[in-house]
Amino acid sequence: MRASSSVAFILAILCLPCFLGAQQAPATATPATTQSATSLAAPSPTSSAEAATAPASSPNPPAPTASGLLQPALDSVQETVAAVKLEKWKKGTVREEAGDNIKGILKDLQTTLPPLLKSADAAPGALTGLLPVSRNINALYNVLLRVEEAARVAAPGDQADELQQALVKLGDARRAIDDRIEEAALAQEKQVADLRSTVKAQADIKCPAVPAPAAPKCPAPAPAKTKRKPTSSTTKSTTANPSTTPPTSTSGTGK
């Protein structure tokens, strides 16, 4: 009896670690599961920073205005021409003609060109506003070119160099406005082509024919009433017994 109880006691001691380990396993597995769920739910700092710094898709930039293309060069021309000192030039017809051209340039920059630029800026893609500006810039360039050539003959070197730099800037601005006109013309041509194709596509679509309404039925005409012809017996009786009228008595006149 004592031997069996001692054996049972020894077996219980041997099985106790296994029993305790089985009870501790679920407790140790729970934190791992919680940690994995937390790592999936919370975004990483790197991904949130990348999302914050990702550039947003910006729309197409608006078309440049005429003033934006020309104003820097025009300001340079006005500043350079206004600073010309004709008294330092050689006397003669060259200096006189240059003085008249300088007055014309300043008048154009201050009076004629600003309203043209304002009209062109109001409708950046309209050729009706860009073409007058382009014509004015071309004329202004030609006049400034004559002043620059006269300065090469009669003006000091520093003034001639400044006029040449202003002429180069105005030439670049003139090419920029010409390119803008070309872009506007191409855009309008594409718009017209798209409208034509849309109209043609709509014209090619055939709508189903609408059935014509049924004609109303006219009522049947009433049968015509025919007069009965006298029978033959009636005709015979009429001819057999003619109605005789008694002769009227006439009074004698001289018998």
Computed on alpha carbons and rounded to an integer, the radius of gyration of the chain in Å comes to 58
Confidence check: pLDDT of 169 > 70 = yes
Segment among 53-57, 68-72, 129-133, 224-228 with least mean pLDDT? 53-57
Per cent of the chain over pLDDT 70 is 57
C-alpha 147/C-alpha 163 separation (Å) is 8
pLDDT tens digits for range 38-88: 444 444 544 444 444 444 445 566 778 999 999 999 999 999 999 999 999
pLDDT surpassing 60 at residue 7: no
Q: How much is the pTM?
A: 0.56
User: How confident is the model at residue 38, as a pLDDT?
Assistant: 45
Q: How far apart are CA 176 and CA 70, in angstroms?
A: 8
Query: 173: Cβ–Cβ under 8 A, 6 or more apart, which residues?
Result: 69, 70, 72, 73, 74, 137
Binned at pLDDT 50, 70 and 90, residue 158 comes out as very high
Q: How far is CA 95 from the centre of its chain?
A: 53
Q: Are 98 and 150 spatial neighbours (Cβ–Cβ below 8 Å)?
A: yes
Question: What number is the average pLDDT over the span 83-110?
Answer: 94
Q: Region 221-247: what's the mean pLDDT?
A: 57
CB proximity list for 88: less than 8 A, separation 6 or greater: 155, 156, 159
Look at 58 and 169; give whichever has higher pLDDT: 169
- The pLDDT score that the predictor gives to residue 234 is 53
**Mean pLDDT, residues 143-159 taken together:** 95
Q: Where are the alpha helices (DSSP H) in the chain?
A: 2-41, 45-53, 66-82, 93-107, 113-122, 127-154, 157-204, 232-240
Residue with tokens 């160099």: 161
* Interaxial angle between packed helices 113-122 and 66-82, expressed in degrees from 0 to 180 and rounded to the nearest 10: 160
CATH of 66-202, one of 3.30.450.40, 1.20.120.230, 3.90.1260.10, 3.10.20.30: 1.20.120.230
The residue type of 132 is: P
- Phi, psi dihedrals of residue 76, rounded to the nearest 5°: -65, -40
Q: How crowded is residue 84: how many other Cβ atoms within 10 Å of its Cβ?
A: 19
Poorest-pLDDT segment among 28-37, 76-85, 167-176: 28-37
Q: Could you give the CA distance from residue 35 to residue 42 in angstroms, rounded to a whole number?
A: 11
Provide CB contacts within 8 A for 110, sequence distance 6+.
78
Comparing 196 with 106, the larger pLDDT belongs to 106
**CA-based torsion, 173, 174, 177, 182: positive or negative:** negative
Nearest to 112 by CA among 75, 140, 144, 131: 140
Tens digits of per-residue pLDDT, 113-124? 999 999 999 988
**Which of 63-77, 160-174, 179-193, 238-252 is predicted least confidently?**
238-252
